[in-house]
Structure 1
Amino acid sequence: MGGVTEHRPQSSVLVVGAGPVGLVVACELLQRGVEVRVVDAGRGHSAHSRANVVWPRNLELLDRIGVTDDLLGIGHRLAGTAWYSGGRRLATAWMSKLADSPYPFALTISQNDTERVLRRRLETLGGTVEEGVRLSSLDNAAGGPSVKLEHEGGRVEELEPGWLVGADGAHSTVRKELGIAYDGPPVDVSFAITDARLTTSLSEDLSHYCYAPSGAIVLGPMGDGVHRIALNVPHDAYDEHNPPPREMFQQVVDDRAAGRSRVEELLWSGSFRVRVRIASAFRSGRCFLAGDAAHVISPAGGQGMNTGMQDAFNLAWKLSGVIRGEFGEGILDSYDTERRAVSHDVARSTELLTKAGLVNTPAKVALRDAAFMAADRTGLFQRKVAPQLGQTAVAYGGGSHPRLPLRVSGTRGAPDASPYLGGGSWPVIDRDRHSVLLWPGTRTPPADWRRTRERARRALPEGTPVLDLTRAVPQGLARALGPGPALAVVRPDGHLLARLDPGRPQEAAHLLARAAHTRSRP
């Protein structure tokens, strides 16, 4: 390019990509005092990147970096998601009936607004986004990554960051430079989407998945009469020079959607093609992939951005602990194993939703509709599909590390309890360290529990965050901990590490020591 090449001293972490995933990683690291650079080549406004829903689990995790309240002040709350066939309601997955989340609703909010909130938080924490800076090459030698960054105007910068996070989208340069394969199941569907002003008889506190022989359509209220509309279309029906028109959306709404709706005005429209892909590895030495750089899944269920944000949180608390000397580097192995497994699970579930919407023979339609109605009538839909959609069902280690119904607050200080809408309180665990929950169960005599609790406290390492669950707790947490007394060791992301006998607290002390040092999996 003929530009000047300059060398820069080592930076702790280089984050490539300033979408929601890269911004979350940077905010998490910055609030722990880790040096971070965020560069972004400049992303186009493709429909593919326009996520518009944040699920309950992510609202919990976003509280870690102190942005959930800001998002709630902007977005539109949904009580759940309803499915229809031929205009008849089949089933409903209610977020409002999730007893194990402090945020029992989905939040619809434009990705642009989500990014604005995250950028504002990044700036508050002392970070900036360097716009127009493109990673052009990456050498991931044994000593750590070495990169070239091309700036607008032709200046080339050589940098050797201590760590690198590639959050640079589906066409990730980081992934390509690392030589990581990017394959997936044979899902290949094209969608047309719009945000439109809609006059409708459908409820504005539910999103609506509507199936018809001609295909599927989703209508998601975003507040103030605006709805996200998404529907499958033939490949190459539209492109960036020929966006889908209002008349097409109205025709498909009339054909596929339940209720009566009129598309008044398109705020924007576009089309995109989805080929499901998952990277064969999310880590290579001191380099990591997160978000679309690691996985692209079907938009059915609105899981993509949420899954990417959970990558960011899973990686950032581990990486910051390693950099600060609190964890051994072996804990980072678990980022790859945990998040790749979840990505495959999400890909499978969204693939099923996508295929369910494309059923078109009478026999298959009847079978699908009967299955949905039976699952709804027996409560299976609420027990299985609602937590899966809300991502509160995410578990690691083959299910041995489930998420617990807790808050992980971004406010520093001693753990406390926050109000619980259904009565009781939500225990707040430390966001940076493993915490211990002392749970008396439902049958232990108070005097016996006091003695057990004091012995356990004395045996734990000094400085261990400990929560005594002696007050009323949410029913979802009580169920997760069980009826008997327990000492639960909880990871900083709210996932259970182990449930132990409180009468043998030395086991917890040993487990905490192993969790804080070099381990292949936390």
Structure 2
Amino acid sequence: MAESNIPVLIVGAGPTGLTAAMELSRMGVDVRIVDRAAQPAPESRALAVQARTLELLGARGVGDTMLALGNRAHTAALYARGRKLAPIELHRMPSDVNFILMLAQSETERLLAEQLAEQGVKVERGIEVTSIAVDDPARVQVTLRTGEGTEETVTAAYVIAADGPHSTLRKSLGMDFPGRTLPLNYVLADLYIEADLPHDQVSIFLGSPGFVAVFPMGGGRFRLMATDPQHWTPERREPAIEDVQRLYDATVHIPARLHTMNWSSRFRINSRHMRTLRAGRVFFGGDAAHVHSPAGGQGMNLGIQDMVNLSWKLAMVLDGRAKPELLDTFSSERLPAIRTVVRFTEIGTRIFNSTNPIVHALRIRVAPRMLARDRVQDRAASMFGQLVADYRADALAENAGGIDGLRPGDRVPDIDPGTLDLNALTLFVGDGADDVADLAHGWAGVVAIRAGVSAAPGTWRLVRPDGYLAAAGRAGDGPVLAGWLHRWFVRSRA
């Protein structure tokens, strides 16, 4: 049996695993990424790319191409009884990318894989994990098998499990995946619709037999999701075009001809997440760690953001710039964000799915009143864009100061991505805070200094590679910065 060593082995080459490989290799970490499937999946599956994901990928050289290929939805609108109830105004997102980008997951994966290949890493396909051993506290041993039956033992310093909802690694390590399966059946289809439907809007139609949601992909192509409480679509086969047309006609008041269906599926929703995202030297992300309703197009984005959070920490620990304790903050930071999305999507799904006539009547009356409030609109838009998550409550945000209402763990909204060092912490120092800049010079490799940029006079902000605030203060607050750095990082002896 062949043997090899690698700092990081990544299992799973969906958006989550590809993001981890892209980030780590960009920061100089040797990685291998393997996937059981012989070829990438051709179906679009996940569709929505949210604002926070676009901000992160834009800073990493992938976002502009995604924007050029995708279709932008600026609103999400609710309809019932033949009329529009209310819009959700996505342009209220506090971001330059204040919309939802509709882009097939297959395209997102292709772009991430191409960027990864430019960095010298190729996805190894047709390879499955047959066993994992975590007995040694200093390493992980994983046995891989190719489609031809050849086996290899890989010894890795760390392993990232991004191998989907039926994760072999999660099961092999006996990790819990608590949650529930929601009761209703759903139909999903990727097809063309000839109708007077907006091409820059997510349209959700509520009816007594359930709901139909259509997501514009551009060029007359749509993703359609519908409930099927009457079991109109036969369970013995994938829904046919006539089945989907029937579901559409039963709920949507806008006449349409559905045709040229690329694929369809039937599914039930699982709403689950792990209790911890770490098992020793194995980290979990994406669908391997959390699954939930596709309502709001949140899932793929969570997985990508999981890996952006983990990768900078892992890279800095591997090259000795950070203490191993930093890795504990991956799970403690990401789990609250995951719980919020799982809860939000489950509640939304239960409300929209109800076939109870009283609930249906309440939806029609309450939705317009709620969405007429600016505060509700602002919050709804930010939640869709995944801009509301913060890490304020985590240990990494303790004793780290703050400035002008911005606290450690907050997303920093006004940083020019071109000024952010994606391989280290970036210290933005305003005029008059020279004492803090002088202190930071002793942390070469850990802190990159940007003087006179993105910081008001007499203030400073330390920003993480993922765009969240690490620490902040004013001139004279150097001890705050020094104390925080000493807790989590390793000062160079050079």
* TM-score of the superposed pair, with normalisation by structure 2: 0.89
Please give the alpha-carbon distance, in whole angstroms, between the structure 2 residues aligned to 1:291 and 1:336.
Answer: 12
Please name the residue that 1:465 is paired with. 448
Contact 1:93 1:381 in 2 (8 A): no
> How far apart are the structure 2 equivalents of 1:185 and 1:44?
31
The one of 105, 114, 122 aligned to 2:116 = 122
1:133 and 2:127 correspond: yes
Cα shift at 1:91? 2.8
Residue in 2 that maps onto 1:25:
20
Q: Is the 8 A contact 1:28 1:313 kept in 2?
A: yes
2:350 aligned to 348, 355, 376, which one? 355
TM-aligned CA distance change 1:64 to 1:153, over 3 Å: same
Residue 488 of structure 1 is matched in structure 2 by 461
- 2:435–2:478 contact (8 Å) kept in structure 1: yes
Displacement of 1:275 in angstroms is 1.4
Q: 2:424 aligns with which of 433, 449, 452?
A: 433
Task: Spell out, residue by residue over 1:221-256, the C-alpha distance to the aligned partner (whole angstroms, 9 max, x if none).
Answer: 001110000112249875886111212222222222
Deviations 1:3-43 (A, max 9, x none): xx2222x1111000111110000000111111101111117
Aligned to 1:78: 73
Question: CA RMSD of the aligned region, Å?
Answer: 2.6
Partner of 2:2: 6
Matched pairs, number:
474
More off after superposition, 392-401 vs 218-227? 392-401
Q: Decide which moves more: 337-346 or 14-23.
A: 337-346
- Distance in 2 (alpha carbons) for counterparts of 1:512 and 1:352: 40
Q: 2:478 is matched with which residue: 482, 505, 509?
A: 505
Counterpart for residue 264 of structure 1: 259
Shift of 1:207: 0.8
1:93: Cα distance to partner?
2.4
> Residues of 1 paired with 2:24 and 2:234: CA distance?
39
1:261 partner amino acid = A
Give how far 1:312 is off: 1.2
Q: Structure 1: how far apart are the matches of 2:55 and 2:448?
A: 19
Q: Distance in 2 between matches of 1:278 and 1:43?
A: 28
Q: Gaps spanning 5+ residues in structure 2: where?
A: 395-407
Query: Residues 496, 347 of structure 1: CA spacing in aligned structure 2 closer, same or farther, 3 A cutoff?
Result: same
Q: Against the structure 1 CA distance between its residues 306 and 467, is the aligned structure 2 distance closer, same or farther, given a 3 Å change threshold? A: same
Q: Contact 2:429–2:452 (CA<8 Å) still a contact in 1?
A: yes
Structure 1: runs of 5+ lacking an equivalent: 410-415, 417-427, 440-449, 474-480
Cα deviation, residue 200, structure 1? 2.0
Q: Does 1:405 align with 2:389?
A: no
Partner in structure 1 of residue 274 of structure 2: 279
Q: 1:258 to 1:224 in 2, by over 3 A?
A: same
1:227 to 190, 198, 222: 222
**Amino acid of the structure 1 residue aligned with 2:64:** D
Cα distance change, pair 222–174 in 1 and its aligned pair in 2 (3 A): same
Most deviating of 485-494 and 77-86: 485-494
What percent identity do the matched residue pairs reach? 32
Letter in 1 for 2:124: E
Correspondences of 1:22-421 after superposition (within 5 Å): 22-42=17-37, 50-98=45-93, 100-141=94-135, 142-185=137-180, 187-234=182-229, 242-398=237-393, 401-406=409-414, 409=417, 416=418
2-structure distance, mates of 1:298, 1:28: 27
**CA-to-aligned-CA distance 1:103-147 (integer Å, 9 cap, x gap):** 122111111111111111111100011111100001111232111
CA distance in 1, matches of 2:189, 2:169: 31
User: Are the equivalent residues in 1 in contact too, given 2:36–2:125 (CA < 8 A)?
Assistant: yes
* CA drift at 1:67: 0.9
**Does structure 1 retain, via aligned residues, the 8 Å contact 2:142–2:154?**
yes
Using the TM superposition, give the Cα deviation of residue 487 of structure 1 relative to its aligned residue in structure 2, in angstroms: 2.9
Tell me if the contact between 1:102 and 1:407 (Cα under 8 Å) persists in the aligned partners.
no
